[in-house]
């Protein structure tokens, strides 16, 4: 499954429409929010980092708030990118120059200050990074994978240091998440719920599920993935569930009541789902008439300008949130 070629499809390409759904099924996509950052917070036992996640706060914005105390909330959201790149850069062994180049609109000195602030705010994280980075140097290239998988690096010392931290966190996260993804399928088989896995890719999972489970699928995932892993290792791996009739036209699913769920997405996405429910004879009603939804094609001039990067013809830019009530 890990080598399934679907994972090489560009994330922003409409070629993903070729991954369609069989009769009687919809497709779901779950991408775990900040999976590796949540893992390293737990692995390093950094109370402050774990506290941010527990309180539902945005770690990067809170760091930006300390760095830019006079910024408005809108400005802080814009500065979020700085601290996201800095933290991920620390996890992946990136140099300060590398971080600065990725951020773009920041000086090397400002980037160094942001890195120092991040490490100062999370002392246990700093210590964890230092220990795991040095581990291969004193263990003949072996990386501490936490869960016992054997990874030996034969690279130069600086690469071993980078691999010591990033392979540690990535391996741990991959093993734990796959265990959660597998738990969904295992329980689906036991419950005869009807979920069929297509592929696991890094921190995401793509499944088929029966149409009549549209009103319960997100609850099922939260029970057998999020709550299960929280009980197992104490990490809250949050996610959003996207649903659709193909891998491109997908919308965000939210359960409002046991019989009402909302879908936030393009008119194309919502119309496709409604048509499939109707074709399968599943009774439902919506708070907005499906016939009132208008597809908004991307501006033709923009299409021509973007053509050599991505043929955007047929790209629906409309945005709707529609409630589906099961009858």
Of the listed ranges 54-68, 112-126, 141-155, 183-197, the least confidently predicted one is 141-155
Contacts with 135 (C-beta within 8 Å, 6 or more apart), sequence order: 142, 143, 144, 164, 168
Angle at 168 between CA 163 and CA 171, to 5 degrees: 110
Which range, 5-19, 136-150, 168-182, has the best average confidence (pLDDT)? 168-182
Mean pLDDT of 48-62: 89
CATH fold of 37-172, please?
A: DNA polymerase; domain 1 (1.10.150)
Of the listed ranges 12-21, 33-42, 180-189, 273-282, the least confidently predicted one is 12-21
The answer to whether the CB of 80 falls within 8 A of the CB of 118 is no
Q: Is the pLDDT of residue 81 over 70?
A: yes
pLDDT at 225: 97
DSSP, res 17: G
pLDDT at 284: 97
Phi–psi pair at 289, nearest 5 degrees: -55, 130
11-32 tens-digit pLDDT: 666 677 778 899 999 999 998 9
Mean pLDDT of 89-98: 87
pLDDT at 95: 87
Mean pLDDT of 80-104: 88
**Percent of the chain scoring above 70 in pLDDT:** 90
What three-state secondary structure class fits 78? helix
Which range, 119-123, 268-272, 299-303, 308-312, has the best average confidence (pLDDT)? 268-272
Domain positions in the chain:
13-34+173-326, 37-172
Angle at 261 between CA 256 and CA 262, to 5 degrees: 100
pLDDT at 308: 46
99-134 tens-digit pLDDT: 999 898 889 999 999 999 888 989 999 999 999 988
Token pair of 250 as six digits: 């997908």
Which range, 60-69, 169-178, 254-263, has the best average confidence (pLDDT)? 254-263
**Percent of the chain scoring above 90 in pLDDT:** 54
pLDDT at 208: 97
Q: Enumerate long-range contacts of 15-21, CB under 8 Å, 24 or more apart.
A: 16/246, 16/247, 16/248, 17/246, 17/247, 17/248, 17/249, 18/246, 18/247, 19/198, 19/206, 19/246, 19/247, 20/245, 20/246, 20/247, 21/208, 21/244, 21/245, 21/246, 21/276
pLDDT at 13: 65
Q: Enumerate long-range contacts of 127-134, CB under 8 Å, 24 or more apart.
A: 127/44, 128/40, 128/43, 128/44, 128/45, 128/46, 129/44, 129/90, 129/91, 129/165, 132/164, 132/165, 132/168, 133/93, 133/161, 133/162, 133/164, 133/165, 134/161, 134/164
pLDDT bin (cut points 50, 70, 90) of residue 245 is very high
CA distances in angstroms from 207 to 22, 194, 217, 258, 269, listed in the order given: 12, 10, 11, 21, 17
Residue 159, sorted as left (phi over 0), alpha (psi -120 to 50) or beta, turns out to be: alpha
pLDDT at 2: 43
CATH ID of 13-34+173-326, from 3.30.1360.40, 1.10.357.10, 3.30.70.370, 3.40.50.1000: 3.30.70.370
């Amino acid at each position: 499954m890990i080598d399934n070629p679907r994972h090489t499809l560009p994330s922003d390409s409409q070629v993903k429409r070729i991954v369609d759904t069989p009769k009687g099924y919809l497709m779901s996509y779950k991408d775990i929010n900040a999976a590796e950052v949540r893992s390293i917070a737990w692995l390093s036992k950094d109370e402050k980092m774990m506290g941010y996640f527990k309180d539902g706060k945005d770690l990067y914005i809170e760091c930006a708030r300390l760095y830019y105390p006079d910024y408005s909330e809108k400005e802080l959201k814009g500065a979020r990118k700085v601290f996201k790149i800095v933290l991920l850069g620390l996890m992946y062994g990136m140099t300060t120059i590398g971080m600065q180049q990725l951020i773009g609109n920041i000086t090397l000195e400002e980037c160094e200050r942001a890195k120092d602030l991040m490490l100062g705010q999370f002392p246990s994280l700093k210590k964890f990074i230092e220990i795991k980075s040095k581990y291969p140097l004193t263990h003949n290239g072996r990386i501490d994978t936490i869960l016992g998988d054997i990874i030996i690096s034969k690279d130069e010392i600086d690469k071993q240091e980078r691999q010591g931290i990033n392979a540690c966190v990535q391996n741990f996260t991959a093993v734990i998440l796959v265990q959660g993804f597998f738990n969904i399928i295992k329980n689906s088989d036991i419950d005869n719920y009807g979920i069929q896995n297509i592929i696991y890719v890094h921190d995401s999972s793509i499944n088929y599920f029966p149409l009549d489970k549209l009103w319960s699928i997100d609850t099922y995932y939260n029970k057998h993935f999020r709550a299960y892993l929280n009980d197992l290792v104490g990490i809250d791996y949050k996610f959003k569930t996207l649903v659709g009739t193909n891998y491109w036209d997908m919308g965000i699913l939210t359960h409002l009541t046991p019989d009402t769920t909302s879908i936030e997405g393009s008119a194309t996405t919502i119309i496709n789902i409604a048509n499939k429910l109707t074709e399968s004879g599943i009774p439902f009603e919506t708070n907005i008439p499906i016939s009132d939804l208008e597809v908004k094609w991307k501006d033709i001039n923009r299409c021509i300008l973007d053509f050599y990067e991505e043929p955007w013809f047929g790209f629906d830019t409309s945005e709707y949130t529609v409630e589906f009530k099961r009858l």
